[in-house]
């Protein structure tokens, strides 16, 4: 979940990218930044560390994301200057969300116990398109072994829970009611 500050930075970056007519380029950058931070525990530790100097964090990030656009590099610069570099992951996620909304792309989050097969992914995409009436749908698969099996589908504020953990929970509630 992104903070309000991260969303404000993301809106500013989106506006700047759109003015420069490179919204899609920055979109690619932000997806890369978000994925890199999400998949690297070490990087998250560095970004949140009060011991590591802001300039050192900036140097590391500039090196990691050296192939990215000037807008993305400018974001790193601004966040460092404002001592908010720990927000970078949230800003990137917020940018992706805002850009998708602006483009009319619906994002569906599917939580499964194991990674989706391509066949199942196609079926889920078709179902989401049917539910939302939108042709542009992006699927984001999240793995959570605690749901045991089945899936949880979330599109915007709609959620469909077909997980085995949820079914077991409802059976448990029924048993406790009847006791």
Percent of the chain with pLDDT over 90: 58
CATH code: domain 4-101 is 1.10.520.20
Check whether 1 has a pLDDT greater than 70.
Answer: no
Residue 93: the pLDDT is 92
CA 179 – CA 175 distance, rounded (Å): 6
Contact between 47 and 37 under an 8 Å Cβ cutoff? The reply is yes
How would residue 75 be classed by pLDDT, with cut points 50, 70 and 90?
very high
Give domain limits for the chain.
Answer: 4-101, 104-178
pLDDT at position 179: 78
Of residues 176 and 130, the one with the higher pLDDT is 176
- Mean pLDDT within 159-177: 89
**pLDDT digits over 111-144, tens only?**
988 988 888 888 888 878 887 777 788 888 888 9
Point out the least confidently predicted range of 41-50, 85-94, 117-126.
Answer: 117-126
Q: Using one digit for the tens of pLDDT, what is the confidence trace for 77-89?
A: 999 999 999 999 9
Q: State mean pLDDT over 57-80.
A: 95
Predicted pLDDT of residue 74: 96
Average pLDDT, the chain: 91
Cross-strand partners of 160? 153
Q: Give per-residue pLDDT as tens, 102-120.
A: 998 888 888 988 988 888 8
Residue 22's pLDDT band, with cuts at 50, 70 and 90, is: very high
């Amino acid at each position: 979940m992104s903070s309000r500050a991260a969303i404000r930075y993301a809106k500013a970056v989106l506006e700047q990218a759109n003015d420069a007519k490179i919204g899609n380029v920055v979109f690619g950058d932000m997806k890369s930044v978000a994925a890199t931070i999400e998949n690297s525990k070490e990087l998250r530790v560095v970004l949140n560390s009060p011991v590591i100097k802001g300039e050192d964090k900036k140097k590391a990030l500039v090196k990691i994301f050296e192939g990215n656009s000037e807008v993305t590099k400018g974001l790193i610069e601004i966040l460092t200057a404002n001592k908010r570099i720990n927000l970078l992951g949230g800003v990137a996620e917020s940018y992706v969300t805002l850009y998708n909304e602006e483009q009319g792309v619906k994002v569906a989050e599917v939580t499964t116990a194991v990674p989706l097969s391509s066949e199942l992914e196609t079926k889920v995409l078709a179902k989401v398109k049917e539910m939302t009436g939108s042709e542009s749908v992006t699927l984001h698969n999240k793995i959570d072994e605690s749901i045991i099996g089945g899936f949880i589908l979330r599109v915007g504020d709609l959620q469909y829970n077909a997980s085995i953990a949820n079914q077991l929970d409802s059976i448990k509630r029924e048993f406790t009611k009847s006791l």
